[in-house]
Chain A
Amino acid sequence: QVQLQESGQGVVKPSETLSLTCTVSGGSISSYYWNWIRQPPGKGLEWIGYIYYTGTTNYNPSLKSRVTISVDTSKNQFSLKLSSVTAADTAVYYCARGYCSGDSCYSWFDYWGQGTLVTVSS
């Protein structure tokens, strides 16, 4: 059974960089695409971006200038960096797998981590 686990800072100061890692267990990080999704307290889901295991990325246009997603296939991990954070970036951050089969990838997220709360505060 595939499992995803987020780890990283719980509190980040304004203007600094948020860094999170998602560790994938029970399956290989290869042959899928990997997403970061966030949810501010009491609000809805926001897609942040994805990375294919090959390293190809795509980001939400509203966050693109501040986001970097990277992958380390040797560790079965992928990571998120969000720079110049403000209070508006306070949220539960989820990592999620995008489904692929063979050479085709599809538009749904079938496995999710439990989420980690990141608070931006001085």
Chain B
Amino acid sequence: QSALTQPPSVSGSPGQSVTISCTGTSSDVGSYNRVSWYQQPPGTAPKLMIYDVSNRPSGVPARFSGSKSGNTASLTISGLQAEDEADYYCSSYTSSTTYVFGTGTKVTVL
């Protein structure tokens, strides 16, 4: 199984919005609404931010939102804050009943 494709980096100024794409195939992202997103600040473990494409766990700020169209899922951070600077990874369930992660995106707050 190949890693899902994410842009290596995105950046924005405080208060702006940024969107991270996550492109898979019809065997993973395109076939299931089972995409999740994780935030990983440097030197720390990943933290769940979005599950099942667009749901936020308790405690995750509302400025984080998710969506999906076809084989591509997206994470949008609205009202970017300095604390949002981190690496972000998507993950999807696959038709082989396994999981695959994205290549990762570094978000920089300018």
Residues of A within 8 A of B (CB): 35, 37, 44-47, 50, 58-62, 94, 96, 99, 106-110, 112-115
Query: In the bound complex, how far is the Cα of B102 from the Cα of A44, in angstroms?
Result: 8
**How many inter-chain residue pairs (CB < 8 Å) link A and B?**
67
A60 partner residues in chain B, CB cutoff 8 A:
1, 98
Query: In the bound complex, how far is the Cα of B45 from the Cα of A115, in angstroms?
Result: 7
* B98 and A47 form a contact (CB under 8 A): yes
Query: Does any Cβ of A come within 8 Å of B69's Cβ?
Result: no
Nearest A residue to B47 via CB reads A112
Nearest A residue to B102 via CB reads A44
**Residue in A47, A62, A110, A115 whose beta carbon sits within 8 Å of that of B57 in the complex:** A110
Query: In the bound complex, how far is the Cα of B52 from the Cα of A59, in angstroms?
Result: 21
Query: In the bound complex, how far is the Cα of B1 from the Cα of A70, in angstroms?
Result: 23
* A108 and B52 form a contact (CB under 8 A): yes
Query: In the bound complex, how far is the Cα of B1 from the Cα of A110, in angstroms?
Result: 23
Cross-chain pairs A/B with CB under 8 angstroms, 21 sampled: A35-B99, A44-B3, A44-B89, A44-B104, A46-B3, A47-B99, A47-B101, A59-B98, A60-B1, A61-B96, A96-B46, A106-B34, A106-B52, A107-B34, A107-B51, A107-B93, A108-B51, A109-B46, A109-B91, A113-B45, A114-B45
Proximity string of chain B (68-102) to chain A, C-beta cutoff 8 Å, 1 when within and 0 when not: 00000000000000000000010111001111111
* B46 and A94 form a contact (CB under 8 A): yes
**Residue in A37, A44, A62, A108 whose beta carbon sits within 8 Å of that of B48 in the complex:** A108
**Residue in A44, A62, A107, A113 whose beta carbon sits within 8 Å of that of B99 in the complex:** A107
Query: In the bound complex, how far is the Cα of B89 from the Cα of A112, in angstroms?
Result: 14
* A62 and B46 form a contact (CB under 8 A): no
Proximity string of chain B (8-49) to chain A, C-beta cutoff 8 Å, 1 when within and 0 when not: 000000000000000000000000101010100000111110
**Residue in B34, B92, B97 whose beta carbon sits within 8 Å of that of A58 in the complex:** B97
Query: In the bound complex, how far is the Cα of B47 from the Cα of A62, in angstroms?
Result: 25
Min CB–CB distance B100 → chain A (angstroms)? 7
A106 partner residues in chain B, CB cutoff 8 A:
34, 51-52
Query: In the bound complex, how far is the Cα of B100 from the Cα of A58, in angstroms?
Result: 13
